[in-house]
Amino acid sequence: MLPGSPTELAERSLQVRRAIKQQRHALATGELTIADVMLAPAAALGDRTLFEIVLMARGIGRTRLAELNTRAIDDAVNLAVTLEHADAYTRRWVAANALRRSPLSAWDRLML
């Protein structure tokens, strides 16, 4: 193969897609935790936003993401930044808070 040839570029693209798929699968099955990804970022997920990565994880849906985002805003953490551009504080914050539940959900607070 010639360097930079369409075949080489297609092979590289396939490798990147496979790496992302493997990371996504590992997060979805619980083999890999958000803390693992935040503390040792995988190159395959570097261009993904923290929102996307959190949603890939097992047990986190849009409701839990909304709760996490509320806490992030309160703590001045930006979840819209890509993993490769997230600073150490932001990655540590996501690792510590992603699987933590709010003490009371919004519905529970309304019902008090």
The predicted pLDDT at position 98 comes to 83
DSSP-based three-state secondary structure for 49 = strand
Eight-class DSSP state of 3: T
Confidence of residue 53 (pLDDT cuts 50, 70, 90): very high
Interatomic CA distance for residues 32 and 57, integer angstroms: 8
Read off the pLDDT band of 27 (50, 70, 90).
confident
The H-or-E segment that residue 25 falls in is: helix 6-29
* Domain annotation for the chain: domains and CATH numbers: 6-111 (1.10.8.50)
- pLDDT above 90 for 86: yes
Task: Judge whether residue 92 has pLDDT over 70.
Answer: yes
Average pLDDT, integer, range 20-34: 86
Q: What percent of the chain has pLDDT over 70?
A: 86
In angstroms, rounded to a whole number, what is the distance separating the alpha carbons of residues 15 and 21? 10
| Tokens (6 digits) for 85 | 């551009």
The structure tokens listed for 58 are 């097992």
Q: What is the pLDDT of residue 109?
A: 46
* Residue range 36-51, pLDDT digits in tens: 888 887 778 888 999 9
pLDDT of residue 46: 87
